[in-house]
Amino acid sequence: MNADEKAIAAVLASYEQALNQSSTDAVMKLYAPDGVFMPQNSPSSVGADAVRKAYDNVFNMITLGVKFDIAEIHQLAPEWAFARTNSEGKVKVHATGEGGPEANQELFVFQKIAGSWKIARYCFAPPTRRHSRKGLARMRAPCFLGSDSSPREELPERGSSPAPDVCLQGGWEWPRPSSKCRAR
């Protein structure tokens, strides 16, 4: 790794720590002022205020204990780079107290601003592997379906397990795009 790639790896390590500490302030120090956070099944959060609100919502709903493994870092230009990572660990849902496995694959776009690498864009999604319901705790997943990005709770269909509009990934029941959610 060259010096810039090492600096990006250090930002990723700091991001992992910030997530595991549920620290929005620590996360925000790593983002570009016009950064974009693009979580699955949710509208993009664009700009510092929206990104801060999104992470506050996430940390109010869940606690993470994850480890990032860097798959690749590539500098594309003097001020632009991307990194691809895979993360695994555990998640605890505050509303229910339930916990389970957590896994994602992530894509980060970095911008060098005033000599420091910042997260310009970040998106993630669970890996494509399927999990059996057997042995996994059933949890309600947070979703942010709604233009206001306020936390919402999935409403599974009665008598179905899981609901037809829910997919089970990484121990979470994630709503499909057609799911109906309600504000908590």
Look at residue 40 in the predicted model and tell me its pLDDT.
86
The pTM (predicted TM-score) of the whole model is 0.73
From 45, 89, 50, 92, select the one nearest 67 (Cα to Cα). 89
**DSSP per-residue letters across 104-140:** EEEEEEEEEETTEEEEEEEEEE--S----STTSPP-B
* Ranges of the chain whose pLDDT falls below 50: 130-184
3-state helix, strand, coil in the chain (%, to 5): 20, 45, 35
The contacts of residue 49 (CB under 8 Å, 6+ apart) are none
Look at residue 134 in the predicted model and tell me its pLDDT.
37
pLDDT, one tens digit per residue, over 15-47 is 999 999 999 999 999 999 999 999 988 899 999
Look at residue 164 in the predicted model and tell me its pLDDT.
38
List, in order of start, the domains of the chain with CATH numbers: 3-125 (3.10.450.50), 142-183 (no CATH)
Question: Would you tell me how many other CB atoms lie within 10 Å of the CB of residue 176?
Answer: 12
Look at residue 129 in the predicted model and tell me its pLDDT.
57
pLDDT, one tens digit per residue, over 82-96 is 999 999 999 999 999
